[in-house]
Chain A
Amino acid sequence: MSAASAAFDYAQFVLVPQAFNGLVIGVAVILMALGLTIIFGLLDVFNMAHGEFYALGAYLGVTLAARGVSFWLLLGLVPLLLLPAGFVVDRALIQRVFHQKERHMLTMLLTFGLSIVMEDVFKWIYGANTMKPETPLAGGTEILGNFFPTYRLFLLAIGSATIAAVWLVVNRTLFGAMVRAAAFDRHMAASLGVPVRKVYSATFAFGVALAGLSGVLLAPIYTVFPTMGKDFILMAFTAVILGGLGSIRGVVIGGLLLTQIQALSSLYVSPVWGDPLVFGIMVLVLFVRPQGMFAGKLRHV
Chain B
Amino acid sequence: MRPWRRATLVATFVGAASASALAAEPIKIGVVTPLTGTYAPIGQQVRWGIELATKEINAAGGVLGRPVELLFEDEEANPAVATQKAEKLFQVSKVDFLTGTVNSGSTLAVGQLAERNNRLASTTVSFSDAITGDKCSPNVFRVNARAGQQSAALAEWLAKEKANAPVYFLGPDYEMGRNTVAAFKAASEARGMKTVGEVFAPLGNKDYSPFFGQIRAARPSVLYTSVAGNDTARLFTQLDEYGLRKNLLIVGASGTVTSQNMGALGKVAEGYVTGVGYSPEIDTAENRKFLAAFRAAYSADPDLYGADSYGLVYFYKAAVEKAKSTDTDKVRAAMRGLKWMTPQGEKEMRAGDHQAVQDMYAVKVEGGKFRIVSKVPGNVAIGPDTCTRF
Contact = CB atoms under 8 A, between A and B. Distances in A.
Contacts of A177: none
Interface stretch (B24-32, B130-138, B207-215): B207-215
A129 B260 contact: yes
A271 B260 contact: no
B206 A222 contact: yes
A292 B368 CA distance: 50
Given A221-B237, A274-B202, A275-B202, A25 B207 contact: yes
A271 B242 contact: no
A130 B233 contact: yes
A14 B211 CA distance: 10
Nearest to B267: A134
B202 A272 contact: yes
B238 to A, nearest CB: 6
A135 B261 contact: no
Contacts of A13: 213, 217
Interface in B156-204: 173, 199-202
Interface centre among A128, A129, A152, A267 (most CB of B within 10 A): A129
B261 A221 contact: no
A147 B206 contact: no
B221 interface: no
B205 A271 contact: yes
Nearest to B173: A272
A149 B213 contact: no
Interface residues of A, number: 36
A77 to B, nearest CB: 22
Contacts of B388: none
Nearest to B38: A128
A221 B210 contact: no
Given A17-B213, A130-B263, A140 B237 contact: no
A231 B206 contact: yes
Interface residues of B, number: 33
A271 B201 contact: yes
Interface in A111-156: 128-132, 135, 138-140, 147, 149, 151-152
Contacts of B213: 13-14, 17-18
A95 interface: no
Interface string A241-269: 00000000000000000000001001100
Interface in A210-245: 220-225, 228, 231-232
Nearest to B232: A130
B352 interface: no
A220 to B, nearest CB: 8
A130 B210 contact: no
A21 interface: yes
Contacts of A130: 229-230, 233, 260-261, 263-264
Contacts of A152: 241
B226 to A, nearest CB: 16
Nearest to B202: A272
Interface in B204-252: 205-207, 209-213, 217, 229-230, 233-234, 237-238, 241-243
B230 to A, nearest CB: 5
Given A130-B233, A223-B264, A271-B205, 13 more contacts: A14-B213, A21-B209, A130-B229, A135-B241, A140-B241, A147-B242, A223-B230, A223-B234, A266-B210, A271-B199, A272-B200, A272-B202, A275-B202
Interface of A: 13-14, 17-18, 21, 25, 128-132, 135, 138-140, 147, 149, 151-152, 220-225, 228, 231-232, 263, 266-267, 270-272, 274-275
27 contacts: A13-B217, A14-B213, A17-B212, A17-B213, A18-B213, A21-B209, A21-B210, A130-B229, A131-B263, A132-B265, A140-B242, A149-B242, A149-B243, A221-B238, A222-B234, A223-B230, A223-B233, A223-B264, A224-B264, A232-B206, A270-B200, A271-B199, A271-B200, A271-B201, A271-B202, A272-B200, A272-B202
